[in-house]
Amino acid sequence: MRIAVIGTGNIGGTLGTKWRAAGHDVVYGSRRAPGDGPGGAPVRAIGAALADAEVVVLAVPGSAVAELVAAHGGALAGKVVIDATNRMGAPEFDSRAAIKAASPDARYVRAFNTLGWENFADPVPSAALFFAADPEARAVADELIAAVGLEPAFVGDADATGTVDALLPLWFALVQQRGGNRRLALRVVQ
């Protein structure tokens, strides 16, 4: 897959590194000067990174998403957009509404926002990543979650974003109660 990862920090850099290692064509969209990014994938201006992508992953501060997608909404049309961002302290953690307003045809995925980045770099065996996705985007999300070494756990279409996000305070509480161990995840047992 041709993946544009927007943001080269903990989340963007970790996911981009894993997907490149798995054979995907990763480019970072960044405010930084062009060059090599985490894992060796190229860094480009955000517009240039979006141009050829099939999948876009937003890994910037939650407070930066609305302005970013408003500036690049046209480039998101028809693409799978994975929202890994959290707007801490806002009524909703996700940026689904801003993404939909900027690009009504984007295929929304809510994923990679309920576990610390350490779990993407080095997953606990059999740990699940809970996600929601528009129907046309589900298979892509499944594949990219599996590619980082987590079990994809689909909870519903994009309207189930709040169900995914309910796990975020749970994860923080478990980390706090277990001495700050952030390499901690949930598993589905059936």
Ligand X SMILES: NC(=O)c1ccc[n+]([C@@H]2O[C@H](COP(=O)([O-])OP(=O)(O)OC[C@H]3O[C@@H](n4cnc5c(N)ncnc54)[C@H](OP(=O)(O)O)[C@@H]3O)[C@@H](O)[C@H]2O)c1
User: Which DSSP letter does residue 123 get?
Assistant: P
Q: Which is nearer to ligand X, 60 or 140 (CB)?
A: 60
Q: How many helices (H) and strands (E) does the chain have?
A: 8, 9
Q: Which is nearer to ligand X, 13 or 190 (CB)?
A: 13
Q: Which is nearer to ligand X, 61 or 78 (CB)?
A: 61
d(CA 177, CA 16): 30
For residue 118, the minimal CB distance to ligand X (Å) is 7
For residue 60, the minimal CB distance to ligand X (Å) is 4
**Which segments of 124-166 does DSSP mark as H helices, in order?**
138-147, 161-165
Q: Which is nearer to ligand X, 60 or 144 (CB)?
A: 60
For residue 10, the minimal CB distance to ligand X (Å) is 4
DSSP 49-75: HHHT-SEEEE-S-HHHHHHHHHHHHHH
Q: Which is nearer to ligand X, 28 or 190 (CB)?
A: 28
Contact positions vs ligand X (CB under 6 A): 7-12, 30-32, 59-62, 64, 68, 84-86, 113, 116-117
**CA 102 from centre of chain:** 18
Q: Tell me whether strands 107-110 and 128-133 are parallel, antiparallel or unpaired.
A: antiparallel
For residue 123, the minimal CB distance to ligand X (Å) is 13
For residue 66, the minimal CB distance to ligand X (Å) is 10
